[in-house]
Structure 1
Amino acid sequence: MSRTSFRRVVVVLAATVGVAACGADAVSPLPVQPPGPTRTTPTPSTISTTSAIPTPTGSPSRPPPTSARPAAPPPTPTRTRGTPRTTPPPTDATPACQGAVRYDLPLAETEIELLKSLCFATGAVLRIQGIGPGLVTVDRPELVSQQYEAGVVDIRFVRPGTVAVTIPKEGREHTITVVVR
Structure 2
Amino acid sequence: MNRRSFRRVVVVLAATVGVAACGADAVSPLPVQPAGPTLSTPTLSPPSPSAILPIPAPTGSPSRPPPASARPAPPAPTRTRGTPRTTPPPTDATPACQGAVRYDLPLAETEIELLKSLCFATGAVLRIQGIGPGLVTVDRPELVSQQYEAGVVDIRFVRAGTVAVTIPKDGREHTITVVVR
TM-score by length of 1: 0.53
Counterpart check, 1:76 vs 2:71 = yes
In structure 2, the partner of 1:110 is 110
- 5+ long unaligned stretches in structure 1: 1-59, 63-67, 88-93
RMSD: 3.6
Task: Measure, in 2, the Cα distance between the counterparts of 1:83 and 1:131.
Answer: 49
Deviating above 4 A after TM superposition, structure 1's stretches of 4 or more consecutive aligned residues are 77-84
The residue number in structure 2 matching 1:33 is none
The offset of 1:73, in angstroms, is: 5.7
**Relative to 1, partners in 2 of residues 1:134 and 1:80: Cα closer, same or farther, differing over 3 Å?**
closer
2: CA distance, partners of 1:79 / 1:125: 36
- The one-letter amino acid of 1:162's match is T
Cα distance, 1:170 vs. partner? 1.0
Aligned pair count reads 117
Per-residue CA deviations over 1:146-169 (Å, capped at 9, x if unaligned) read 000000000000111100000001
When Rg is computed on C-alpha atoms for both structures, the one with the higher figure is 1
**Would the alpha carbon gap of residues 110 and 82 (structure 1) be closer, same or farther in structure 2, given more than 3 Å must change?**
closer
Structure 2 distance, partners of 1:82, 1:148, is: 47
How high is the TM-score relative to the length of structure 2? 0.53
Corresponding position of 2:139: 139
- Corresponding residue of 2:13: none
Q: Secondary structure at the match of 2:142?
A: helix
